[in-house]
Amino acid sequence: MPPTAGPNAEDVNQKLLDQYTEIARLAGALAHEIKNPLSTIRLNMELLAEDLGEAETPGQRRAMTKVDVVQRECQRLEDLLDDFLNFAKVRRLHLQPTNLNTVVRQVLDFFLPKVEAAGIEVLDYLAADLPTVLLDREAFYAALLNLVLNAEQAMPDGGQLVVRTFETADGVALRLIDTGCGMDEDTRSRIFKAFFSTKRGGSGLGLPSTRKIIEAHGGDISVQSEPGHGTQFTVKLPTPARLSAADPQ
């Protein structure tokens, strides 16, 4: 009897994608089920705060303090669930030929007033005539915004953020260098893991979401950092295969 052909790589990849899609669907459904009673709790806390009105007695002030704590924790959990739903969902990218510099400038223009107010100087070195890459502009904008936010939070006392784009052998790259507090080796090895965060109240999903988006574009992200010497993130994206003259589409 002839040997039975094993599953090819495409079948295996499709099976894994189907499994991931089902897990993501179940996780999303669970998160929604948690959000509904959580919203009810937060609403009732708001009503209770209105009933208490202006706290006058020590007992009322203690009660208001407890209400405030519950409200803050409810809001924190709702924000965490929103971040998780965004991280877990299967993202269908709408890729379009795009100049990487265009998205970088959009993020910097949006974020410039905030970083300037924080005493951060932005230095951009965007290479001219970059090859075109395929980007889902909305998704990549969100990923890049996460990186800039991370850099801003690493420089609470101000500093510099260097943003550079350049061509590589098989695509383009984006490099963000901040002069912030930096990271030790243990932190650096865990920053892309879900729910790991060094920030109080952080969801720990910002950088994992960023990596997920970049890898969905066929790219990769790496980090170099040392305590007290800042951090450098490098994002590499492939350029699409050149279209043949016989197929202008």
Cβ pair 162, 177 in contact under 8 A: yes
Query: Quick one: pLDDT at residue 54?
Result: 72
Question: What tens-digit pLDDT sequence spans the chain (249 residues)?
Answer: 555 555 555 565 556 556 556 666 666 666 667 777 877 888 888 888 877 777 677 877 788 888 888 888 887 777 777 766 666 665 677 889 999 999 999 999 998 888 888 899 999 999 998 999 999 898 899 889 989 988 998 898 999 999 999 999 889 999 999 999 888 888 888 888 876 666 665 556 678 888 888 988 889 999 999 898 899 999 999 988 753 333 343
Domain boundaries 96-238, CATH class: alpha beta
Q: What span, in angstroms and rounded, lies between the C-alpha atoms of 5 and 9?
A: 12
Q: Where are the domains of the chain?
A: 9-88, 96-238
Tokens of 100: 């990487």
Query: Quick one: pLDDT at residue 245?
Result: 36
Pairing relation of β-strands 171-178 and 96-98?
unpaired
**pTM of the predicted structure, to 2 decimals:** 0.65
Q: ∠ CA 172-84-161 to the nearest 5 degrees?
A: 40
What is the DSSP code string of the chain? -PPPPPPPHHHHHHHHHHHHHHHHHHHHHHHHHHHHHHHHHHHHHHHHHHHH-S--SHHHHHHHHHHHHHHHHHHHHHHHHHHHHHHHS------EEE-HHHHHHHHHHHHHHHHHHTTEEEEEEEPSSPPPEEE-HHHHHHHHHHHHHHHHHT-TT-EEEEEEEEE-SSEEEEEEEE-S----HHHHHHTTSTT--SSTT--S-HHHHHHHHHHHTT-EEEEEE-TTS-EEEEEEEEPPPPPPTT---
Provide the phi-psi class of 218: left if phi over 0, else alpha when psi is between -120 and 50, else beta.
left
Max distance between CA atoms of the chain, in angstroms, equals 89
Q: What span, in angstroms and rounded, lies between the C-alpha atoms of 160 and 146?
A: 17
* CATH architecture assigned to 9-88: Orthogonal Bundle (1.10)
Closest CA to 101 of 166, 171, 149: 166
